[in-house]
């Protein structure tokens, strides 16, 4: 694993003022690394699942005024997009890097997936690592730490995925800039791989 990944200074891209200026910094400093991660981990996920995964680097094309506060590469089995499917993400906020699996509001199979998750609720509570986090809105950095959740808390988040039209649910890890600065490229890539391994059983539940 010799892929050049993020540097601790990459988090500072989100302090650049102005839409055009920040997008230029993201395209120059972050997107090439997301492309490289996309190539490597689309292949990895394809091998792990025996399905064809494709990667999609966020373009932020709809933004006309406000600059993005995060950016990412997503992985799905659709060559044309990922928002309509359960998918994996690797990305950055100014406060942390993240590695997620989840479903966002555009995904039409949220109800079926929520039911599958509820059938395995106790397994999810037990098997998700304690340092993983849950997000109910991919546009916000706030999360809930898995080890602080009761089973009932997890159940409510999953039920919300099925009953609220705009509901989302993502799970994975955050890595702070301080933690990141202490990691080598190889350690970060290994962390992505181990995180995806922990999340693949959830992907399998989406495709029963």
Would you list the domain boundaries of the chain?
8-206
Quote the mean pLDDT of the chain: 94
Q: Which residues pair with 92 in a beta bridge?
A: 71, 97
What homologous superfamily does CATH list for 8-206?
A: Protein of unknown function DUF1054 (3.30.930.20)
Q: Is the pLDDT of residue 65 over 90?
A: no
Q: How confident is the model at residue 2 (pLDDT cuts 50, 70, 90)?
A: low
* Spatial contact of 61 and 36, defined as CB atoms under 8 Å apart: no
Q: Are 203 and 44 in contact (CB under 8 A)?
A: no
Residues in Cβ contact with 26 at an 8 Å cutoff, skipping those fewer than 6 apart: 13, 60, 68, 71
Percent of the chain with pLDDT over 90: 88
Triad 141, 17, 58: Cα angle to 5°: 50
Per-residue model confidence as pLDDT tens digits over 77-103: 999 999 999 999 999 999 999 999 999
User: How confident is residue 7, by pLDDT bands cut at 50, 70 and 90?
Assistant: confident
* pLDDT tens per residue, range 146-201: 999 999 999 999 999 999 999 999 999 999 999 998 999 999 999 999 999 999 99
Contact call for residues 197 and 77 (beta carbons, < 8 A):
no
60-81: average pLDDT: 90
- Residue range 99-113: average pLDDT? 95
CA atoms of 88 and 92, how far apart (whole Å)? 14
Point out which residues pair with 174 in neighbouring strands.
98
Mean pLDDT of 59-83: 90
DSSP, collapsed to helix, strand or coil, labels residue 70 as: strand
pLDDT of residue 133: 98
């Amino acid at each position: 694993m010799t892929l050049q990944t993020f540097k601790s200074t990459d988090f500072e891209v989100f302090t650049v003022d102005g839409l055009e200026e920040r997008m230029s910094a993201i395209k120059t400093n972050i997107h090439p690394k997301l492309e490289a991660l996309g190539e490597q981990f689309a292949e990895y996920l394809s091998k792990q699942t025996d399905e064809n995964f494709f990667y999609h680097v966020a373009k932020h094309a709809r933004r006309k005024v406000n600059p993005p506060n995060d950016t990412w590469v997503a992985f799905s089995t659709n060559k044309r997009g990922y928002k309509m499917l359960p998918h994996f993400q690797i990305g950055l906020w100014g406060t942390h890097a993240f590695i997620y699996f989840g479903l966002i509001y555009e995904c039409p199979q949220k109800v079926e997936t929520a039911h599958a998750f509820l059938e395995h609720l106790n397994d999810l509570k037990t098997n998700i690592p304690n340092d993983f986090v849950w997000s109910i809105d991919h546009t916000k950095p706030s999360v809930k730490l898995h080890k602080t959740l009761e089973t009932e808390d997890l159940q409510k988040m999953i039920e919300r995925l099925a009953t609220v039209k705009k509901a989302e649910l993502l799970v994975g890890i955050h890595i702070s800039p301080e933690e990141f600065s202490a990691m080598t490229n190889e350690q970060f890539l290994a962390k992505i791989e181990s995180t995806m391994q922990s999340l693949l059983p959830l992907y399998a539940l989406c495709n029963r």
